[in-house]
């Protein structure tokens, strides 16, 4: 998720002093700002509504600030409403990102009234609301802190202390003297006329209003879309991680769980959804005589504010019952009528049942709603009882049956359901603070593969995990990366820093570490520890160490698995450090050592602290047979059993099934033995390890750990390789899409073409025949479906005549008969080469299809295909269309950039910019000009070329952008020089082996 919008307007002390003579003007400006950003209105306490917060079994650790005394009230005892600013606000707990532990929420009564009408959704959309928060006071305080952002607060009152179970209207009131807003930390501060009493309960009552946005998915947001030929709108929410405060004043931290009674007021044409089933409906008339429906919902279990969810929509649904509980999938009426939600509906119930049985914990809610949103930047969200998905990740069209789309939907549905009944750092057991977010998301990512494997036991789980998770994160992680997965978020000073934690490391590195933990224990022990953990902390909060403690208990209760240290010590070595190790084995001596992985290693670059090492589980095989687990808990260690003899059939591979989060290197003899085995009998080495050897060797060579020749030697056997996923790994590493890649080097291209085409021809014949004769045979071959596009694309790019001819034939079939469907696994390749090999006839046909297509995914695919033309005049016309016609006005794909990314288009785009850079900037923003500078300059290798490009862009870029571009181009130049040196060695190797 993206960072929160900035808020606040600050003036330094020095400037404030200089402006002292303009005090009256400044006060007027501040009043205007208060009206703009939304702060509490000045009203007498007698007119205020109320709020409250709740008790919890556990609360976040916090600073030991003492609550401050009672402030003075404003004129006539009215609360004084101010906007906190750095130049005058007193220091206090509002300067910190975390709430003090003075109050603990028990229950929210929340009513929201979004003014969404079926005929007015294109205008500014407002909402109003009321919230009563019952709180338990733990420390005497005359100041209350709540979270609130971009909300106008009309009423504020504090009732209490409350007696148990009382609803008496005569309960006392605590005076509210002042309400003010420290904008930077997103708080609302209530200054009280007297201190609250520790041990007592109070009810905080607030009335507020705010805005609904279309251009962001934070808090309440609007989707405008087309359904049944009409423009429609729906309202949905996204509260994670810190956006509940955009919707209602609350204590917006994950540890502060409470129960919720939610009421939504909406137009009668719409359906209102929330976490719980509907309790009842009544009618309400507004001041203008318009009728509204008031929908109330049952009380939720205790949950954090980030799981509060609601939707107001004009959708249809399909439903089924699983173990007595209703499951409904909501989507556009067209999609429901076409059966696009059926696949998701049919897999959701069995996934719930599998997880219930696995953990022996029943799903605690009486229903599950899942809604497909036309636009949802966050892709999916696990709100308890109301899951939200981008429709592209939930709905399956009939022509998607042969694609990897089914698997993608299965993975994402499994991930989000994994949060529901059992997911420990998630809905049932929630993290105390955001530094443990990797456990919530990382373990959900881990479990999605276990779920899918259960329903598809023939699916090679380790290869699928490598492709979807491990391959990508190992390419982004390194020793100097900015953070570890377990981050000290309590030291953050801005909420946006929390939002940035939802990244590749949280999801994929977290999943990889969970994968490793399961690997060195076993599945039974792993699940047993999780069961114990869940039962202990259900409906509560926990820390990372609580989880490790339950794993340690499971380990201590058996004697088969022995660990070199406690589970906490082992796992802390992975979660509190950035990067990962490279494990190097000398098969002649049996010496194994570890060192951190660096991008572009330099000589003698090692650990800064010899004792600061990872505790590495080493699962391994020797001559195809799995061996006993060993541990590398030092910089280096000797394992005599890993030495190999002179026999041609003696070889060792570390990291069995790639369960460890590290890369593996060998000495020259170790690599030689593996290469010999591949050439003699590659099937003796499992598929997952052929993938591993290729990926590790090429990536280590790219970063100076091994010679490039070591990686290239592993490809000699490829003529016998018929597993297309292994070919995928080869092509991703050898024929990259990087701007300065070797395949774009004209000296290497003919050599690489000859070398690869000779070896891939056999695999090409197999899959091209299947594509032409029986594409349905690939329906359940997930590894083929995810590999075919890259394989066919490379074959065509290397000029394989059979591939080019196939592209002509299939594109021509489609052009002559639009009802014909190009086989989906290679559709993008056929479209691209159909255009590249065709004329303006083919291009105009594709433009016409684009014009009549509303599906965003398809439009993006077509936009990229149209950039594949080799005709300069067609590309020039394409870019002209992009900046002048309404046809491309709502397309987020930057046409100029995708044209510039092609080899021919790079020069065409540069010429086009000479006369059109202002129009390009207006259409796509100034950042597009910066991106184009990178794309056009991607092959530079001299300082004079940098100067030439800088001169070319001098009138287009601002000074800051020029500096940024210059630094980037120098980096590109240095990388290209490095690539050229390696390319020379690759060319020499190819000459010797072609």
Q: What is the CATH number of the domain that holds 615?
A: 2.60.40.1910
Opening angle at CA 499, ends 496 and 501, nearest 5: 120
**Rounded CA gap, 278 and 300, in Å?**
11
pLDDT given at position 211: 92
Regarding beta strands 367-373 and 325-331, do their DSSP bridges make them parallel or antiparallel, or are they unpaired?
parallel
466 backbone φψ class: left, alpha, beta (φ>0; ψ -120 to 50): alpha
DSSP code per residue over 728-775: HHHHHHHS--STT-GGG-TTTHHHHHHHHHHHHHHHHHHHHHHHHH-G
Is residue 211 situated within a structural domain? yes
Q: Is 267 marked as a binding-site residue?
A: no
Residue 816: pLDDT over 50: yes
Is residue 463 situated within a structural domain? yes
Is residue 338 situated within a structural domain? no
**Residues 485 and 610 placed together within one structural domain of the fold:** no
**Residue whose pair of structure tokens reads 């002559």 in the numeric block:** 816
Q: Which residues of 664-685 are buried (b: 16+ CB within 10 A; e: fewer)?
A: bbbeeebbebbbbbbeeebeeb
pLDDT in tens, 443-489: 888 888 888 888 888 888 888 899 889 999 999 998 887 688 887 76
DSSP summary character for residue 298: P
At residue 88 the predicted structure's pLDDT band, cuts being 50, 70 and 90, is low
**Rounded CA gap, 990 and 342, in Å?**
52
Residue 363, both tokens: 């799903």
**Rounded CA gap, 692 and 703, in Å?**
16
DSSP code per residue over 716-735: GGGGG---HHHHHHHHHHHS
Residue of 286, 306, 302, 303 lying closest to 294 (CA atoms): 286
Residues 6+ apart with CB under 8 A from 990: 712, 748, 751, 752, 754, 755
Residues 6+ apart with CB under 8 A from 948: none
Residue 835: pLDDT over 60: yes
Residues 6+ apart with CB under 8 A from 469: 445, 449, 508, 511, 512, 515
pLDDT given at position 735: 85
In this structure, of 31-35, 135-139, 548-552, 641-645, the range with the lowest mean pLDDT score is 31-35
Is residue 79 situated within a structural domain? no
Strand partners for 277: none
pLDDT in tens, 733-753: 888 655 444 344 667 889 999
**Residues 505 and 557 placed together within one structural domain of the fold:** yes
**Rounded CA gap, 402 and 265, in Å?**
43
Q: What is the CA radius of gyration of the chain?
A: 31
Q: Is 441 marked as a binding-site residue?
A: yes
**Residues 587 and 529 placed together within one structural domain of the fold:** no
Average pLDDT, the chain: 84
What distances in angstroms separate CA 904 from CA 279, 900, 969, one per listed residue?
Answer: 63, 8, 20
Decide if 416 is catalytic: yes
User: Could you tell me the end-to-end alpha-carbon distance of the chain, in angstroms, rounded to an integer?
Assistant: 48
Give 293 or 26, the one with higher predicted confidence.
Answer: 293
Range of the domain at 547: 424-576
Domain tally for the chain?
A: 3
Residue 878: pLDDT over 60: yes
Residues 6+ apart with CB under 8 A from 764: 791, 795, 800, 802, 803
Q: Domain of 518: which CATH number? A: 1.10.390.10
pLDDT in tens, 115-163: 999 988 877 899 999 999 999 999 999 999 999 999 999 999 999 999 8
Q: Which of helix, strand or coil describes residue 54?
A: coil
Q: Is 218 marked as a binding-site residue?
A: no
**Residues 108 and 255 placed together within one structural domain of the fold:** yes
**Residues 521 and 645 placed together within one structural domain of the fold:** no
Q: Is 992 exposed, middle or buried (0-12, 13-18, 19+ CB in 10 A)?
A: exposed
Is residue 22 situated within a structural domain? no
Q: Domain of 285: which CATH number? A: 2.60.40.1730
Q: Which residues of 461-473 are buried (b: 16+ CB within 10 A; e: fewer)?
A: bbbbbbbbbbbeb
Give 865 or 786, the one with higher predicted confidence.
Answer: 865
Residue 60: pLDDT over 80: no
Q: Is 523 exposed, middle or buried (0-12, 13-18, 19+ CB in 10 A)?
A: exposed
At residue 166 the predicted structure's pLDDT band, cuts being 50, 70 and 90, is low
pLDDT in tens, 337-388: 999 999 999 999 998 888 888 888 788 889 999 999 998 887 899 899 999 9
Residue 78, both tokens: 């009215």
For 765, phi and psi rounded to 5 degrees? -60, -40
Could you tell me if 155 and 129 are in contact, meaning their C-beta atoms sit under 8 angstroms apart? no
**Residues 605 and 622 placed together within one structural domain of the fold:** yes
Is residue 982 situated within a structural domain? no
What distances in angstroms separate CA 680 from CA 717, 720, 721, one per listed residue?
Answer: 8, 10, 12
Could you tell me if 537 and 55 are in contact, meaning their C-beta atoms sit under 8 angstroms apart? no
pLDDT in tens, 434-443: 877 888 888 8
**Residues 612 and 710 placed together within one structural domain of the fold:** yes
Residues 6+ apart with CB under 8 A from 455: 347, 350, 351, 354, 410
**Rounded CA gap, 78 and 76, in Å?**
6
- Single residue among 668, 683, 714 that ends a domain in this structure: 714
Strand order in the sheet with 219-227: 219-227, 230-238, 310-313, 271-274
DSSP code per residue over 156-198: EEEEEEEPTT---TT--EE-EEEEEEETTTTEEEEEEEEEEPT
Residue of 180, 118, 115, 186 lying closest to 148 (CA atoms): 186
Residue 291: pLDDT over 60: yes
Could you tell me if 633 and 597 are in contact, meaning their C-beta atoms sit under 8 angstroms apart? no
**Residue whose pair of structure tokens reads 């002048």 in the numeric block:** 884
pLDDT given at position 806: 95
Residue of 452, 376, 473 lying closest to 408 (CA atoms): 452
Residues in the chain: 994
Percent above pLDDT 70 for the chain: 85
pLDDT in tens, 752-781: 999 999 999 999 999 999 998 888 888 878
Is residue 162 situated within a structural domain? yes
**Residues 531 and 587 placed together within one structural domain of the fold:** no
Average pLDDT over residues 573-598: 95
Residue of 891, 860, 858, 894 lying closest to 879 (CA atoms): 894
Residue 642: pLDDT over 60: yes
For 189, phi and psi rounded to 5 degrees? -110, 125
- Selecting among 203, 240, 253, 416, the annotated active-site residue is 416
Strand order in the sheet with 380-381: 316-322, 325-331, 367-373, 386-390, 380-381
**Rounded CA gap, 979 and 985, in Å?**
10
**Rounded CA gap, 910 and 186, in Å?**
45
DSSP code per residue over 216-261: --SEEEEEEEEETTEEEEEEEEE-TTTTGGGTS-B---TT--BEEE
Q: Is 12 exposed, middle or buried (0-12, 13-18, 19+ CB in 10 A)?
A: exposed
Is residue 872 situated within a structural domain? no
pLDDT given at position 889: 60
**Residues 428 and 571 placed together within one structural domain of the fold:** yes
At residue 415 the predicted structure's pLDDT band, cuts being 50, 70 and 90, is confident
Could you tell me if 246 and 210 are in contact, meaning their C-beta atoms sit under 8 angstroms apart? yes
At residue 5 the predicted structure's pLDDT band, cuts being 50, 70 and 90, is very low
Strand order in the sheet with 620-622: 625-626, 620-622, 652-654
- Single residue among 683, 714, 745 that ends a domain in this structure: 714
- Single residue among 263, 297, 314 that ends a domain in this structure: 314
**Residues 442 and 563 placed together within one structural domain of the fold:** yes
Dihedral, 137, 138, 141, 146 alpha carbons, nearest 10: -60
DSSP summary character for residue 509: I
**Rounded CA gap, 448 and 89, in Å?**
48
Residue of 923, 474, 409 lying closest to 658 (CA atoms): 474
pLDDT given at position 779: 80
Could you tell me if 257 and 304 are in contact, meaning their C-beta atoms sit under 8 angstroms apart? yes
**Residues 488 and 598 placed together within one structural domain of the fold:** no
Could you tell me if 198 and 208 are in contact, meaning their C-beta atoms sit under 8 angstroms apart? no
**Measured in whole angstroms, how far is the alpha carbon of residue 355 from the centre of its chain?**
23
Average pLDDT over residues 161-177: 79
In this structure, of 273-277, 748-752, 882-886, 903-907, the range with the lowest mean pLDDT score is 882-886
**Residues 546 and 468 placed together within one structural domain of the fold:** yes
DSSP code per residue over 352-396: HHHHHHHHT----SSEEEEEEES--TT-EE--TTEEEEEGGGT--
């Amino acid at each position: 998720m993206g960072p929160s919008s900035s808020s606040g307007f600050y003036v330094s002390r020095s400037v404030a002093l200089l402006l002292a003579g303009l005090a009256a003007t400044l006060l007027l400006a501040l009043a205007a700002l208060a009206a703009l950003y939304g702060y509490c209105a000045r009203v007498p306490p007698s007119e205020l509504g109320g709020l409250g917060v709740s008790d919890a079994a556990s609360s976040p650790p916090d600073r030991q600030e003492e609550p401050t005394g009672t402030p003075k009230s404003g004129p006539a005892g009215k609360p004084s409403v101010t906007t906190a600013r750095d130049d005058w606000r007193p220091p206090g707990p509002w300067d910190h990102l975390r709430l003090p532990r003075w109050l603990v929420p028990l229950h929210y009564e929340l009513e929201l009234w979004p003014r969404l009408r079926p005929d007015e959704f294109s205008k500014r959309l407002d909402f109003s609301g009321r919230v009563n928060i019952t709180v338990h006071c733990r420390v005497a305080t005359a100041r209350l802190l709540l979270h609130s952002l971009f909300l106008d607060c009309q009423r504020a009152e504090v009732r209490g202390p409350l007696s148990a179970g009382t609803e008496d209207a005569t309960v006392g009131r605590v005076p509210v003297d002042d309400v003010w807003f420290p904008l930077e930390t997103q708080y609302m501060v209530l200054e009280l006329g007297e201190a609250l009493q520790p041990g007592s309960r109070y009810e905080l009552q607030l009335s507020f209003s705010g805005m609904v946005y279309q251009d962001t998915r934070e808090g309440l947001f609007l989707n405008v879309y087309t359904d049944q030929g009409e423009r429609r709108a729906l309202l949905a929410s996204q509260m994670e991680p810190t956006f509940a405060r955009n919707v209602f004043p609350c204590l917006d931290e994950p540890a502060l769980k409470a129960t919720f009674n939610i009421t939504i007021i909406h137009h009668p044409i719409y359906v209102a959804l929330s976490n719980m089933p509907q309790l009842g409906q009544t009618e309400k008339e507004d001041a203008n005589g318009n009728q509204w429906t008031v929908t109330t919902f049952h009380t939720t279990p205790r949950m954090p504010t980030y799981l509060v969810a609601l939707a107001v929509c004009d959708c249809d649904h399909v439903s089924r019952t699983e173990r007595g509980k209703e499951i409904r999938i909501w989507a556009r009426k067209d999609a429901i009528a076409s059966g696009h939600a059926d696949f998701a509906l049919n897999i959701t119930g069995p996934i719930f049942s599998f997880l219930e049985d696995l953990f022996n914990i029943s799903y605690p809610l009486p229903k599950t709603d899942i809604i497909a949103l036309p636009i949802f930047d966050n892709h999916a969200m696990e709100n308890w009882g109301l899951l939200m998905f981008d429709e592209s990740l939930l709905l399956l069209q009939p022509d998607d049956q042969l694609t990897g789309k089914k698997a993608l939907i299965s993975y994402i549905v499994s991930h989000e359901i994994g949060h529901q009944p059992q997911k420990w750092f998630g809905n049932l057991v929630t993290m105390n603070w955001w530094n443990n977010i990797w456990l919530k998301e990382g373990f959900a990512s881990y479990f999605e593969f276990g779920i899918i494997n259960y329903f598809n036991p023939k699916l090679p789980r380790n290869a699928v995990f490598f492709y979807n998770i491990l391959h990508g994160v190992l390419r982004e992680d390194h020793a100097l990366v900015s953070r570890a997965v377990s981050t000290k978020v309590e030291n953050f000073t801005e909420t946006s820093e929390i939002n940035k934690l939802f990244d590749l490391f949280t999801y994929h590195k977290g999943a990889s570490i969970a994968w490793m933990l399961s690997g060195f224990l076993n599945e039974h022990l792993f699940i047993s520890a999780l069961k114990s953990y869940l039962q202990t902390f259900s409906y509560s909060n926990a820390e990372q160490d609580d989880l490790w403690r339950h794993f340690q208990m499971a380990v201590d209760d058996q004697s088969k698995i022995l660990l070199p240290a406690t589970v906490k010590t082992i796992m802390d070595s992975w979660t509190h450090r950035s990067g990962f190790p490279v494990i190097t084995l000398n098969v002649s001596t049996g010496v194994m050592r570890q060192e951190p992985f660096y991008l572009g290693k330099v000589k003698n670059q090692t650990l800064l602290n010899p004792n600061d090492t990872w505790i590495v589980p080493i699962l391994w095989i020797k001559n195809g047979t799995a061996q006993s687990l060993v541990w590398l808990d030092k910089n280096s260690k000797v394992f005599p059993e890993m030495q190999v003899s002179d026999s041609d059939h003696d070889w060792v591979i570390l990291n069995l099934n790639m369960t460890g989060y590290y890369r593996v290197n060998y000495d020259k003899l170790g690599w030689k033995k593996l290469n010999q085995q591949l050439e003699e009998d590659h099937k003796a080495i499992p598929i997952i390890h052929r993938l591993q050897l290729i990926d590790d060797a090429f990536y280590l060579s790219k970063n100076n750990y091994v010679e490039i020749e070591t990686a290239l030697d592993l490809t000699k056997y490829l003529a016998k390789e018929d597993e297309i996923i292994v070919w995928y790994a080869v092509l991703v590493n050898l024929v990259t899409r990087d701007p300065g890649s070797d395949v774009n080097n004209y000296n290497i291209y003919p050599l690489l073409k000859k070398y690869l085409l000779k070896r891939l021809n056999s695999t090409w014949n197999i899959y091209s025949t299947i594509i032409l004769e029986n594409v349905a045979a690939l329906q359940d071959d997930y590894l083929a479906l995810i590999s075919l596009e890259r394989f066919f694309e490379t074959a065509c790019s290397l000029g394989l005549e059979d591939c080019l001819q196939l592209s002509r034939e299939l594109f021509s079939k489609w052009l002559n008969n639009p009802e014909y469907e190009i086989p989906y696994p290679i559709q993008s390749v056929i479209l691209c080469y159909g255009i590249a090999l065709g004329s303006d006839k083919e291009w105009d046909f594709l433009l016409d299809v684009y014009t009549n297509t509303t599906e965003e995914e398809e439009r993006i695919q077509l936009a990229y295909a149209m950039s594949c033309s080799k005709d300069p005049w067609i590309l020039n016309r394409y870019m002209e269309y992009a900046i002048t016609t309404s046809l491309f006005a709502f397309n987020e794909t930057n046409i100029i950039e995708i044209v510039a990314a092609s080899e021919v288009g790079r020069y065409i785009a540069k010429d086009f910019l000479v006369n059109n850079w202002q129009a390009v900037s207006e259409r796509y923003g100034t950042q597009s000009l910066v991106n184009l500078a990178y794309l056009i300059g991607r092959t530079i290798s001299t300082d004079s070329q940098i100067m030439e490009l800088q001169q070319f862009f001098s009138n287009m870029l601002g000074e800051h952008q020029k500096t940024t571009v210059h630094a980037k181009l120098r980096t590109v130049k240095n990388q290209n020089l490095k690539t050229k040196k390696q390319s020379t060695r690759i060319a020499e190797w190819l000459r010797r082996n072609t």
